[in-house]
Amino acid sequence: MVLRYNFMQNKNVGFLILGMSLIIITIVLIFNLGLKKIVTQTCTHGSECSMYGTISIQTGISLAIAWLVFIIGLFLIFSKSEEKIVIKTIKDKKKKIDLTNLDKDEKKIMKLILEERGGMFQADLMEKLEIGKVKTTRLLDKLEAKQLIERKRRGMNNIVILKN
């Protein structure tokens, strides 16, 4: 059995944001054309009318924000799309592990890992055993030295798995 922890795919979100930003840009440009048409018909000062300056500033700010959203969408599309943490676990065959030479805390750790089908996060192990980081690390160091487990770094945590 393989456990997977999938995170939302950045690529799909990026395309969604990209599409939304293009729609926003289109709406801003259409709105800008409509405002200019209204100002041309109503303003008696001609091209010196102060409303033209206001329209230009508002359009510039709106387009800048839309382009920023567009760039964020591009970033999400081209960034690392999906992160998976895969833990190989014991399938149908039961692995015989000699627990006779282990102390009671080491036995608890091994039993928990076996119950979790051969692998679990170190933080979850600490939580279930209700022991601190230092004691957990020392116990896992001992089990690693005895070639019973191995730890693999995953982000800010370790995955503890049975050694094959």
**Residues 71 and 101 placed together within one structural domain of the fold:** no
Distance, CA of 112 to CA of 157 (rounded, Å) = 17
Q: CB–CB of 112/129 below 8 Å?
A: yes
**Residues 74 and 15 placed together within one structural domain of the fold:** yes
Overall domain count for the chain: 2
**Residues 151 and 117 placed together within one structural domain of the fold:** yes
Q: Return the closest-CA partner of residue 105 out of 140, 81, 80.
A: 140
Residue with tokens 């300056």: 53
pLDDT above 60: residue 2: no
Domain holding 140: CATH number? 1.10.10.10
**Listed ranges 23-27, 106-110, 126-130; the one with the highest mean pLDDT:** 23-27
**Residues 155 and 91 placed together within one structural domain of the fold:** yes
Q: At what angle do helices 104-115 and 133-145 cross, to 10 degrees?
A: 80
With pLDDT > 70 as the criterion, what percentage of the chain qualifies? 83
**Helix and strand tally (H, E) in the chain?**
5, 5
Asked whether residue 29 is assigned to any structural domain, the reply reads yes
Q: For 89-115, what is each residue's pLDDT tens digit? A: 445 445 567 777 888 888 888 888 888
Asked whether residue 3 is assigned to any structural domain, the reply reads no
Of 78, 107, 129, the last residue of a domain is 78
**Residues 107 and 73 placed together within one structural domain of the fold:** no
Q: CB–CB of 139/102 below 8 Å?
A: no
Q: Across residues 9-24, what is the average pLDDT?
A: 88
Distance, CA of 77 to CA of 57 (rounded, Å) = 30
Residue with tokens 């004691």: 135
**Residues 111 and 152 placed together within one structural domain of the fold:** yes
